[in-house]
Amino acid sequence: MVKPCSHEQFLVEAHVNKDRTSLDAAPHHYWMELKVRCAMCGEPMTFEGLAEDSAIDRPCVDRSGKNARLPLRPAGKGRLVMPMGGFQRGVV
């Protein structure tokens, strides 16, 4: 009988993406795409608590739940503040 994996070590794949209005323009959106899997058995992990979506301006997961997308911004530009009901830009 094979002992089930205890999933105690992980491999993380992270990619930071940029969205530009043109090739010579400064990026106006940044986001990170994340995948996590068990380093021992290779089983993908799913992200919990994020809505299924394909947006780049709010945290979300793809249909499988295995790929998370998280918005980023340079620290000097302030950060997104999430009031009830949606996102609002503000410096905190």
- Over range 62-88, report the average pLDDT: 74
Helix (H) or strand (E) holding 18: strand 10-19
Amino acid at 46: T
List, for residues 42-60, the tens digit of each pLDDT value: 999 999 999 999 888 899 9
Domain ranges of the chain: 10-20+27-74
CA 10 from chain centre, in angstroms, equals 16
User: What number of other Cβ atoms are within 10 A of residue 61's Cβ?
Assistant: 20
Report the pLDDT value the prediction gives residue 89, as an integer from 0 to 100: 45
CA 34 from chain centre, in angstroms, equals 5
Question: For residue 18, what pLDDT band results from cuts at 50, 70 and 90?
Answer: confident
Residue the block writes with tokens 């608590």: 49
